[in-house]
Amino acid sequence: MEQVIKMSYCVNCGVELKPSEQMCPLCGTEVVNPRQPYDRKAPKPFPERMDLFMPQDNRGFIASIVTLVLMLPSAICLSCDAAYTGGSGWSMLVVGAMAMLWVLIVPALFFRRHPIVFGVVLDTGALLGYLWIIERYTETGSWFLRLALPIVLLLAVLFTLDYLLAFRLVRGRFRQAAVVMASLSVLPVGIEMIIDSYLSGAIRLQWAVFVAIPCLILALLMLVLGRRERFKEQMKKRLHM
């Protein structure tokens, strides 16, 4: 019987290959040896298992540090208020501010992949809560329901729309800028309407027009410029970073 010589060489490099090698480790050429086809079961010099890095997730640590740092002024103010001013409520302003900061910082550490709407709802809620505390614990009249609430909601809605339109649906830098400009023209109009209805009940647009019109014109300009390829090219050339 013919003796089968059990070795393969790389046709490109000229090195002998161990039976564990399916292709030459030096050049990647596949081993084609009709006398000795590649044996998947040949002993491998190293196992497949990788020694991976241990996960280094310190978000819990950051969250606890933030919590403690925010609790410190709250606790001091609460106890001072109780001890010296007989619980008149001024400390609630500090506690409210710290609570709002906590809501702004800590959930963002853990819910990075959640939709933007989720974050907007949380942050709007925190801001509204803090404004409500200010109204409740200071003697500044009732402005929360008719002034603060609508303005904050308007801001939140515009921000969400802007985000969804400019970063999800609309493509192109100039068009995105146009969307943001258009929403900026809506904002002062909305704010003036809310203020007017709070102060006098009748809506008469005055100063908002002077902000809204330039913004609208700028938005239109962006749309027009965005269509001109040559202009865009020139801008790219001069403004590239």
Partner 1 sequence: MKPNQLLSSSHRAGGSPEKGPEWLELDNSAKIYPAVRTRDWAAMFRVSVDLTEEIRQDVLQQALEDTVRRIPTFRLALHKGVFWFYLDANKWMPRVEADVNNPCKKINDLENGGYCFRVRVYHRRIALEVFHSITDGTGAMIFLKTLAARYLTLLGHPIPAGEGVLCCDEPPRPEELEDSHSRYASFRHIESRKEKKAYHPQMTRMIAPRLRIITGMLPVEQVHEKARELKVTVNEYLTGALCYAFYQVQKKEAPRRLLPVKISVPINMRRFYPSGTLRNFALFVNPGIEPEYGEYSFEEIVTHVHHFMRLRLNEKYLNAVLSANVGNERNLAMRMVPLFMKNIFMDIAYRLYGESRYTSNLSNLGAIRVPEAMAPFVERFDFLMGPPRFNTHGASALSYGDTLYLSITSVVEETEVERLFFTELVKRGIHVTVESNNPPLTGNDDFPYGRRHAASKY
Exactly one of 43, 86, 141, 201 binds partner 1 (CB under 8 A); which one? 43
Structure tokens given for 185: 């023209």
Complex with partner 1: residue 21 or 81, whichever CB lies closer: 21
CB of 57 to partner 1, least distance (A): 9
Exactly one of 2, 40, 47, 139 binds partner 1 (CB under 8 A); which one? 47
Helices (H), 111-167: 116-137, 149-164
Rule CB under 8 A: say whether 34 interacts with partner 1. Answer: no
Rule CB under 8 A: say whether 52 interacts with partner 1. Answer: yes
CB of 27 to partner 1, least distance (A): 6
Residues from 55 through 94 that contact partner 1 (CB under 8 A)? 55-56
Count of residues engaged in binding partner 1, rule: CB under 8 A? 28
How many helices (H) and strands (E) are present in the chain, helices listed first? 7, 2
Exactly one of 2, 3, 46, 168 binds partner 1 (CB under 8 A); which one? 46
CB of 46 to partner 1, least distance (A): 4
Say which residues have a Cβ less than 8 Å from residue 226's Cβ, sequence separation at least 6: 172, 173, 174, 175, 178, 232
Alpha carbons 62 and 13: distance in angstroms, whole number: 54
Complex with partner 1: residue 56 or 200, whichever CB lies closer: 56
Alpha carbons 92 and 66: distance in angstroms, whole number: 19
Structure tokens given for 126: 């925190």
Q: Quick check: helix, strand or coil at residue 139?
A: coil
Say which residues have a Cβ less than 8 Å from residue 160's Cβ, sequence separation at least 6: 116, 117, 120
CB of 7 to partner 1, least distance (A): 8
CB of 35 to partner 1, least distance (A): 17
Taking residues 4 to 33 in sequence order and writing x for each that binds partner 1 by CB under 8 A, - otherwise, the string is ---------xxxxxx-xxx-xxxxx-----
* CA–CA–CA angle 198, 199, 205 (5° rounding): 90
Reported as type and span, the H/E element at residue 186 is helix 173-199
CB of 240 to partner 1, least distance (A): 24
Residues forming the site for partner 1 (CB under 8 A)? 13-18, 20-22, 24-28, 43-56
